[in-house]
Amino acid sequence: MWNTRELTDKSEILAYLETDRLYAAYAIGDLEAGLFEQCTWAGAEKDGRLQALALYFRGLKLPALVLMGDPEGLQAIFQELLYPERAYLTCCTGHLAVLERFYAWEERIPMWRMVLEPAHFHHVKGDCIRLEPSHVDDLMALYAHGGADAFMPTQLDGGVFYGVYLGDRLVAAAGTHLVSPTYHVAAVGNVFTHPDYRGRGFGTAATSAVVAELLQRGIAHIVLNVGQANMTAIALYERLGFRRACPFFEGPAHAIAL
């Protein structure tokens, strides 16, 4: 029998997440103060051992639901404890069969979690500047051309962002989704180049500048998510030293009436 319960002890949650640190990297970052308070953590135990976990993060326009562990334990969580009506799902291949009993995908995107070990970083220099909260209007104007769906202006406050300007126009930017100094993990994201300025290395240079600062801060694990079909972006990240660590799926989904 499965026993489900809400998890509130950070040390217990971290111990479980550490069993698959790279897949769980974003969730580990959500243990930071300010993010933790926006989370609901649900666990499923069997034989006295935590074997499945679901994280519901409310800090995005479409809340995120991250799944980890035994599929049967996740089924128990959905049935007894946590079953959001709509969410942006993250799951492994082994979760799909159970997940699709409870959710209908609106879009299911095959993804890679990529990771950079500090020793493998290849710095690509460029004419980048550090972006601060005062640059938010320029960032929003850039992202309006089709990039960074998960960007929130508040990410500039504690994050690391760099951009490339041509004249007074921001033409490329890269940043972070989260930076966790406590748990030594950061997630690179919000990487976008204006369509008229692609192929000139601006996105690579901005991303490299972000990674360089994160390494200077002592971040041990730097990760990112990229669509498996986006070979251009994958090549960019591999040029900097990232490697493909684990496949997963993500996308918006809504609950099925049971």
Superfamily for domain range 122-240: Gcn5-related N-acetyltransferase (GNAT) (3.40.630.30)
**Type and span of the H or E element at 174:** strand 169-180
User: 3-112+250-255 in CATH: which number?
Assistant: 3.40.630.30
Q: In angstroms, how far is CA 176 from the centroid of its own chain? A: 9
pLDDT of residue 258: 65
pLDDT value at position 61?
A: 86
Percent of the chain with pLDDT over 70: 99
State the pLDDT at residue 112.
98
The torsion angle over the Cα atoms of residues 235, 239, 245 and 251, rounded to 10 degrees, is -40
- The string of DSSP codes covering 2-53 is -EEEEE--HHHHHHHHGGGTTTTHHHHHTTSTTTGGGEEEEEEEETTEEEEE
Contacts of 217 (CB under 8 A, 6+ apart): 179, 181
**Residue 76: what pLDDT?**
98
CB 93 within 8 A of CB 121: no
Q: Which among 221, 242, 241 has a CA at the least distance from the CA of 24?
A: 221
What pLDDT is stored for residue 149 in this prediction? 72
What pLDDT sits at residue 224?
A: 96
Output the pLDDT for position 221. 92
Pick out the chain residues at pLDDT < 70. 258
Q: Which residues pair with 2 in a beta bridge?
A: none
Q: What element of type H or E holds 72? A: helix 71-80
CA distance 7 to 31: 12
The three-state secondary structure class of 195 is: helix
In this prediction, residue 147 carries a pLDDT of 74
Q: Where are the domains of the chain?
A: 3-112+250-255, 122-240
> Do the two domains 3-112+250-255 and 122-240 of this chain adopt the same fold?
yes
State the burial class of residue 42 (Cβ atoms within 10 Å of its Cβ: 0-12, 13-18, 19+).
buried
